[in-house]
Structure 1
Amino acid sequence: MTAKVSTDIEPNSSQASMDDKSGVACHVDALQSDDISEEDRAFLRNFPADKKKKVLRKIDVRLIPLLTLLYLFAFIDRANIGNAKIEGLTEDLKLTDDQYNTCLSIFFVPYVLFEVPSNYVLNKFRRPSRYMGAIIVAWGTVMTMAGVVKNFQGLFAVRFFLGMTESGFFPGAVLIISKWYLPYETQTRIALFYTASALAGALSGLLAFGIAQMDGIGGLAGWRWIFLLEGIATVSAGVLCFFTMIDSPSLSSNWLTPEEIRYLELRQQAEPSRRATAARKSKGLNVKVLRAVVSDWQIYLQALIYWSNTVPNNGLKFTMPQIMKNMGFTSSNAQLLTLPPYILGALSAYVSAVFADRFNWRMPFIAVPQTLVVIAMAILAAKADDIKNNIPACYFAVSLACLGLYPINPGGNAWTVNNLAGASKRAMGIAYMIALGNAGGVVGSYIYIDKEKPKYPTGFGASMGFAGLGIIACLILEGSYKWLNAKRAKMSKDEVHAKYTEEELDSMGDRSPLFRYGL
């Protein structure tokens, strides 16, 4: 972060958002002459509002639907094992409960380990579309191979390599969004493509219902066709990515005018929290930045918030078809009954993000959904033991859980993006936080124990506990940001510059006394 910019503005302030949704006009006057030229400042200040909206719509139309589609495939491929289970996977492969849970959890081990390296590599690519396309084709190929496994060892290997190849997509997508949009534009966009994770649950059940009717065709079981056809679809989507994903303004002259390209590039330069490493790019691994990421306290609180989603959500996603079946429905009807809760979750994620970006305030739009998860899990814990006589209450609770789960991660990711200063730290920090958060997926894979059905005391109890922990982390994070901002505000610019050099302030990034955390 460049100190001179931050002395005069708070880059993530509500005022910035309310003054000008483009996020630039309110910053231009604060820029010093050696940050951008007077001509560039005048260009940003006078860029018409209707053109700002038009260029953002251009980006939205080209980037967000594609990321949504790709994340839809990612979550379908990750979670369709739950649909395959009730179509005979465990019986055909002779899997024990422990072996099935192991296959669920092994996905998250390479998924967590490779997220940070993947984002580091992606940040070096001039054309992110090439890298993202390659990993999507890779995981689609692995997914297809799941349709021909013969035993536990084969399924274990497929799930391991699926986690490895899929690991780079979500943190990469968040990073790409952060390169095109300003901080208070991010959550709505993240939420739009994150809704795919909820829609994937709905579509996965619907697809499984249809594909399972192919049972016996070609001598293959219905669950094998689920993996085969959905894997082939993902490979096709990966190929599409090579040709359709937008890379950067400078490489977009076929759909952006020169004036729009200049505007998009300058507004990123004018955003203080985005400029910490703009002038100094390391050719190798920046160990100092990596150390700053690993030692950053806020990332660990954000990871706890992430766990309040990943533990309950992954457990529920893998188990929801079985919960519906426990109510007494057939496998086909159980697949279809998973649709409405996921659709509610998708709508909840988007609506919550719209209000969070409008008010430029993350905490209540994370903590309230977390509270809904606690309530939902409490209802299930109380009623699921006699689930066939409590179908309305339990189905309502599952729907309420989805309503609460899906706004959490878009809010947490936007909060993280907005409070990491510097391109390198942002790239590594996003991936590191998501990696820590996704470690909760390992826990979520084990909490729903088959022999405990239909009550699932471990599953519902653990989900309630992690959601509660997330609420506490959310409140602590909000309070810490407010306290630090107030503490830093007590130091005048002259006091700060007397104590630190420009280079020292620049290297501090979001730890600089001139940086203000976004709430």
Structure 2
Amino acid sequence: MFQKENKPLDPEFHDSYNVAPPQYDGIYDEAGQALCPPHTTERKLVTRIDLHVIPFLCIMYLLAFLDRVNIANANVFGLSEELNITDGTKFNTALVIFFVPYILFEIPSNVLLKKLKPRVWLSVCMFGFGLVTALQGLVQNYSGLLATRFFLGVFETGMFPGAFYLIGMWYRRHEAQRRYTFFFSSTTLAGAFGGLLASAIGKMDGMRGYRGWRWIFILEGILTCVVSFFFFFMLPNFPEEAKWLTEEERTFVRARLYQDQGNSGRERPITIRDIGRVFKDPKVIVGGFMYFGLIVPAYGYAYFSPGIIQGYGYSPIQTQLHSVPPWAAAFGFAMTIAYFSDRLKHRFLFAIFPICVCISGFAILLAVHNHKDVQYGALFLVAMGAYTAMPVIICWFNMNLGGHHRRAVGSAWQVGFGNIGGIIAVYTFLKKDAPRYIPGYSICIAFVCLSALSCLTYFIMCGLANKKRDKSAHDVGVTEYEETELGDLAQSYRYLL
């Protein structure tokens, strides 16, 4: 059922799905007549999928990440001073409370995403976190800030793993990295866009009696709510439910995914036993640590880079503007790495290289303390390395999970467990350590090294599994249902390295 690249489909599969061998485009009946219109080649169909799936998910997550990290921009404009939370670690606690529901509800959210239509679940969550963000601009005390940050985590919990799960159910493995990276780069675009937007909104300071930081939350939250109404109709569903495809095109999409990944098992609900079986695979646990190690530097940068840059002597407006270029550089670097990763059909080295770039950035920040241009340049390396390695790792792990059940649970696990690193990140950069932040940079290097070690372990485990299956005979007596239940654990499945 699961075949290596460039191998033909099982003959029985051709008969049951009326699909041409992979070297041909389109879908054919028993007489060899094309069922799809002549213009619907595979490349054109994938382009249509790109236009219907990726842009809307990117905009959705751009707004989600913007609403999550804009508190860093708001703090530059006086949030801590007005709410009287400048002492101790109160601001850090306001950041960390977001991660409590965000971590706990990842797997339940993906189960609901599968049960409901993705566009329904994601658009409802989107409206929720937009409303909470707007309310965050109206809080009058520290307790109100904590409450809004908590509910922001509740509504955002389904965005990231849900989108990765959905993307993974539309593309073959060697097509996925550029799409994953472009989607993930919504975070870098949000960082750049957030800095520009905050610099503009900050000039509204005092309008209608509200400080500039309040307007950042209010306007960005209202924008998200408005967009969510349109996205109720525009966000994509799973391939089996896409109404913008003809029945023949849906059949072809399912067939090409079947060839690459096997039967998805979309029709069967996820049970508690399904969830338990996923965690019996040690590769799944390692996949969580791969992502976990990079979350610490990623959130450390997202939440604290405006403060670090401000420590170089810039004004609040200059700080916001200087926060933009590193995010833009990260986007360009990530897309370049993704292109070559897909082109060469390889993941491991394209995860390790940006990890090394990230480590070099932190090493410079640890060593240089009196040259702001060099320090600012090191922030480029940190952003480029962390925000390039993360989508490679997520795509590598997600696309190696076979079927709806293992991918829904596995993707949520990786993101949920990984975001525990967000709790660590918000306490690594404390005011008492400014402006050198030696403990914060040291902790980040340690966690990036943990990610590199986990990537190496996962690479070895997948390689050994492939070699073992190459030497073993195919499970002749295994039924299609059993293959579907096994997912990537099936004898005929081969992992992408």
Shorter-normalised TM range: over 0.9
Question: Is residue 234 from structure 1 mapped to residue 224 from structure 2 by the alignment?
Answer: yes
Counterpart check, 1:313 vs 2:303: no
Following superposition, the deviation at residue 251 of structure 1 comes to: 4.8
1:508 positional shift: 3.0
Alignment counterpart, residue 15 of structure 2, candidates 37, 41, 54: 37
Residue identity over aligned pairs, in percent, reads 34
Between the aligned partners of 1:60 and 1:502, the Cα distance in structure 2 is 30
Give the structure 2 partner of residue 124 of structure 1: 115
- Cα distance in 1 for partners of 2:42, 2:335 equals 22
| Counterpart for residue 400 of structure 1 | 381
Letter in 2 for 1:416: F
Q: In the alignment, does 2:237 pair up with 1:247? A: yes
Cα deviation digits, residues 49-80 of structure 1 (max 9, x gap): 97111111111122211111111111111111
RMSD between aligned residues? 2.0
Mapping for residues 89-238 of structure 1, pairs under 5 Å: 89-95=79-85, 96-125=87-116, 127-238=117-228
Give 1:490's aligned residue.
471
Aligned pair partner of 1:298 in 280, 283, 295: 283
Deviation, 1:295, is 2.7
Say which SS state the counterpart of residue 486 (structure 1) adopts: helix
Out of 312, 315, 328, the residue aligned to residue 343 of structure 1 is: 328
Deviation at 1:240, TM superposition (A): 1.7
Select the residue among 380, 396, 400 that pairs with 2:365.
Answer: 380
**Aligned-partner residue type, residue 511 of structure 1:** L
The CA distance in 2 between the partners of 1:488 and 1:149, in whole Å, is 58
TM-score in terms of structure 2 length: 0.93
Report the more deviating stretch, 476-485 or 221-230: 476-485
Report SS of the residue matched to 2:496: coil
Bigger helix share: 1
Q: Distance in 2 between matches of 1:205 and 1:101?
A: 20
Matched, 1:288 2:281: no
Please give the alpha-carbon distance, in whole angstroms, between the structure 1 residues aligned to 2:250 and 2:491: 33
1:503/1:339 CA distance change after superposition, 3 Å: closer
Q: Which residue of 2 aligns with 1:277?
A: 265
CA spacing shift, 1:241–1:506, aligned 2, 3 Å: closer
The equivalent of 2:69 in structure 1 is 79
| Paired residues of 2:263 and 2:484 also in contact (CA < 8 A) | no
* Superimposed CA distance per residue, residues 92-131 of structure 1 (whole angstroms, 9 cap, x where no aligned partner): 0001331110011111111011111000000112x32111
Q: What's the CA shift string for 1:226-257, capped at 9, x where partnerless?
A: 1000100111121121121232456545x444
C-alpha separation in 2, matches of 1:436 and 1:295: 16
Residue 496 of structure 2 corresponds to residue 515 of structure 1: no
**Residues 41-80 of structure 1 aligned to structure 2 (within 5 Å):** 41-42=19-20, 46-47=24-25, 51-80=41-70
Which secondary structure state, in structure 1, belongs to the residue aligned with residue 185 of structure 2? helix
Q: Is the 8 A contact 1:305 1:408 kept in 2?
A: no
Q: Unpaired runs of 5+ in structure 1?
A: 11-15, 17-25
CA distance in 2, matches of 1:462, 1:380: 12
The 1:204–1:39 alpha-carbon spacing in structure 2 relative to 1, beyond 3 Å, is: closer
CA distance in 1, matches of 2:463, 2:175: 21
Q: Does 1:437 align with 2:407?
A: no
Contact 1:62–1:246 (CA<8 Å) still a contact in 2? Answer: yes
Partners of 2:312 and 2:239 lie apart in 1 by: 52
For structure 2, list consecutive stretches of 5 or more residues without a partner in the other structure.
27-38
**1:261 aligned partner:** 250
Deviation at 1:515, TM superposition (A): 2.4
**Letter paired with 2:152:** L
Aligned pair in 2 of structure 1 residues 249, 492: CA closer, same or farther (>3 Å)?
Answer: closer
TM-score by length of structure 1 reads 0.89
In structure 2, what is the equivalent of residue 23 of structure 1? none
Shift of 1:456: 0.5
Q: Deviations over 1:451-480 (max 9, x none)?
A: 110110111001111111111111111112
| Cα distance change, pair 221–483 in 1 and its aligned pair in 2 (3 A) | same
Provide the C-alpha distance between the structure 1 equivalents of 2:241 and 2:264, rounded to a whole number of angstroms. 23
- 1:306·1:408 contact (CA, 8 Å) conserved in 2? no
Distance change in 2, residues 1:502/1:237 (3 Å): closer
Cα distance in structure 2, aligned partners of 1:376 and 1:513: 42
